Amino acid sequence: MANASSPLRPSSHWTGWGQWLALITMTVDHLTRYVLPWDLSWAGSSIGRIAFPLFAAMVAWHGLFNTRNPLRYSRRILIIGLVAQVPYMLMPRASDALILNVCFTLASGLALGTLVRQGWQHYQQQTLGFGWLLLGAAVGVTLWYLLGFWVEYGHNGLLLIPLLMFAMHALSQAGPHFQSRLWAGLAAFPVLWIAGQMNASDMAKSFTVATCLVVLILAAGAARRIAPVQLAMPRRLWLAWYPGHFMLIALWLLLSGQLAI
């Protein structure tokens, strides 16, 4: 667990609460969309819009503060996505186009954010030349552009984690001086802007932006005020819930005659 007194590794207690909230809001979104017979689209446009930015924020936070190898962490998320992809593809959709589930978005976003951060650090340490830095940036932009057509939440979703990592670092390092706080505030702005581009309705945009704003406030120092969650999320439940709940929904749709295989 992170040390709350360290400026580089702020307290991560909030992520224990965030895990429960992310799973609950995601499940509400998918149940109202695929299972429940009533029109509860308002739930998906409100409660359901908390899930993705919260998952993205926790991935960015752990990748930034709580793991020595963010790329290995990204690979673990990718494995969950691979397991979940088949039941995810069985969900009823307006389009038949192949879309990779949100774990691919989270894993790719973390990998892109990590590589950008590591490249910049090597450049500052003069172990990487400016030409190589530009080449790496061009490759990263190309990968972002190509992947954005295939993953859930698209180009904006892929950008959210790198922007969160940048903003979280700036906010956690902000000192008492005006310039430092101004820089941290400017670093937070792109997160809120991209969050506002990710959904169609005003309600959905509001919940997504509000979720990101709360996380940024936590990164600015409020995280130290969050007490540990009393009932920690079991690790196996956390890893299995995303693919598992899609499997159960697919089984329900199959048994109810709404899904033909």
Q: Within the chain, how many helices (H) and strands (E) appear?
A: 10, 0
| Cα–Cα distance measured from residue 20 to residue 23, given in angstroms and rounded to the nearest whole number | 5
**Residue 75 · residue 110 · CB < 8 Å:** no
CB distance 256 to 40 below 8 Å: no
Q: Find the mean pLDDT for residues 166-194.
A: 85
Chain-wide mean pLDDT for the chain? 90
Query: Nearest Cα to 60, choosing from 122, 6, 14?
Result: 14
Counting Cβ atoms within 10 Å, is residue 259 exposed (0-12), middle (13-18) or buried (19+)?
middle
Q: By mean pLDDT, which of 37-41, 86-90, 168-172, 234-238 is the weakest?
A: 37-41
Q: Above pLDDT 70, what percent of the chain? A: 95
22, 51 Cβ separation under 8 angstroms: yes
* Token pair belonging to 34: 């695929």
Query: What letters, b where the CB count within 10 A reaches 16 and e where it falls short, cover 107-140?
Result: bbbbbbbbbbbebeeebeeeebeeeeeeebeeeb
pLDDT band with cut points at 50, 70 and 90 for residue 4:
very low
Question: Per residue in 69-82, pLDDT tens?
Answer: 999 999 999 999 99
pLDDT-based confidence at residue 94 (cuts at 50, 70, 90): low
Whether the pLDDT of residue 60 is over 60: the answer is: yes
Write out the H or E segment, with its range, that includes residue 74: helix 70-89
Predicted local confidence at residue 5, as pLDDT:
36
The span from the CA of 117 to the CA of 67, in Å, is: 14
Region 14-42 average pLDDT: 92
Please write the tens of the pLDDT for every residue from 188-232: 999 999 999 998 889 999 999 999 999 999 998 899 999 999 999
- Model confidence at 93: pLDDT above 50: yes
Residue 258 pLDDT greater than 80, yes or no:
no
Lookup result for tokens 């959905």:
204
Per-residue pLDDT tens over the stretch 115-136: 999 888 888 888 888 888 898 8
pLDDT mean over 157-162: 96
